[in-house]
């Protein structure tokens, strides 16, 4: 029989996995573009191609001014309360907690903004740790952010799964030696997501539960 590792940790991306921030992100991007670049349509479709990456890196790849970050962040804070939580996510987090899992967020957002959003949406209490891209040396797709979450959780890679909706999430997880799970409910380009080579694919939050059975704790019955 195949030796399947006992999983006890789940690491989540934030945008597109726990929350459906597409509309609010588009509004913040458009406002930042208008303020810094000027009139004309904001290239949000191009921005979405780089989802999962840290905002300054996206600006570099799009050859847009880094000065867009300040108004983008400002608008994101202003719109935070309007960001919907993905249907089924709260039930998933509660069930994983009941099953004994430790949970973390590893996001392309800066840590303070991620923690603020999770607090605003009443999700922060489900997580042991929230790690932002500004809190590691190299953002996704490098493994640093996943390895940092594992370190904080005192967990080995084979005990963890990472759930993400972008190729950068999958590549970060794989580079860290963690089981990578592709979440398709809010992905912009599913073909690119599949091309990143996820270990598992789920189409709704509850589909994660079969691969996360209750944690066995020595001495517990």
Model pLDDT for residues 172-207, shown as the tens digit of each residue: 999 999 999 999 998 767 888 999 999 999 999 999
CATH class entry, domain 9-20+84-211: alpha beta
Q: DSSP assignment, residue 157?
A: G
- Rounded Cα gap, residues 161 and 181, in angstroms: 7
Smallest CA-to-CA distance from 13 within 181, 135, 144 is with 181
Confidence grade of residue 5 (pLDDT, cut at 50, 70, 90): low
Q: Please write the tens of the pLDDT for every residue from 204-217.
A: 999 999 999 999 75
Q: Could you tell me the two tokens for 140? A: 């996704």
- Rounded Cα gap, residues 35 and 53, in angstroms: 22
What is the domain partition of the chain in residue ranges? 9-20+84-211, 22-82
pLDDT for 219 equals 40
- Rounded Cα gap, residues 110 and 169, in angstroms: 15
- Rounded Cα gap, residues 189 and 46, in angstroms: 12
> Mean pLDDT across the stretch 11-28?
95
């Amino acid at each position: 029989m195949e030796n399947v590792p006992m999983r006890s940790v789940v690491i989540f991306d934030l945008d597109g996995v726990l929350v459906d921030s597409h509309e609010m992100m588009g509004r913040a991007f458009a406002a930042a573009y208008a303020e810094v670049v000027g009139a004309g349509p904001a290239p949000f479709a191009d921005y979405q191609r780089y989802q999962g990456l840290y905002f300054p890196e996206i600006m570099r790849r799009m050859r847009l001014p880094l000065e867009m970050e300040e108004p983008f962040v400002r608008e994101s804070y202003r719109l935070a309360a309007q960001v919907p939580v993905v249907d089924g996510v709260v039930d998933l987090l509660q069930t994983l907690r009941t099953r004994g899992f430790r949970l973390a967020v590893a996001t392309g957002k800066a840590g303070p903004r991620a923690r603020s959003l999770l607090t605003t949406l009443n999700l922060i209490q489900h997580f042991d740790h929230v790690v932002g891209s500004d809190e590691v040396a190299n953002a996704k797709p490098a493994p640093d952010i996943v390895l940092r979450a594992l370190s904080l959780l005192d967990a080995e890679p084979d005990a963890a799964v990472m759930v993400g909706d972008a190729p950068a999430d999958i590549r970060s997880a794989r580079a860290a030696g963690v089981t990578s799970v592709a979440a398709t409910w809010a992905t912009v380009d599913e073909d690119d997501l599949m091309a990143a080579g996820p270990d598992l694919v789920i189409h709704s939050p509850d589909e994660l539960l079969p691969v996360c059975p209750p944690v066995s704790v020595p001495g517990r019955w």
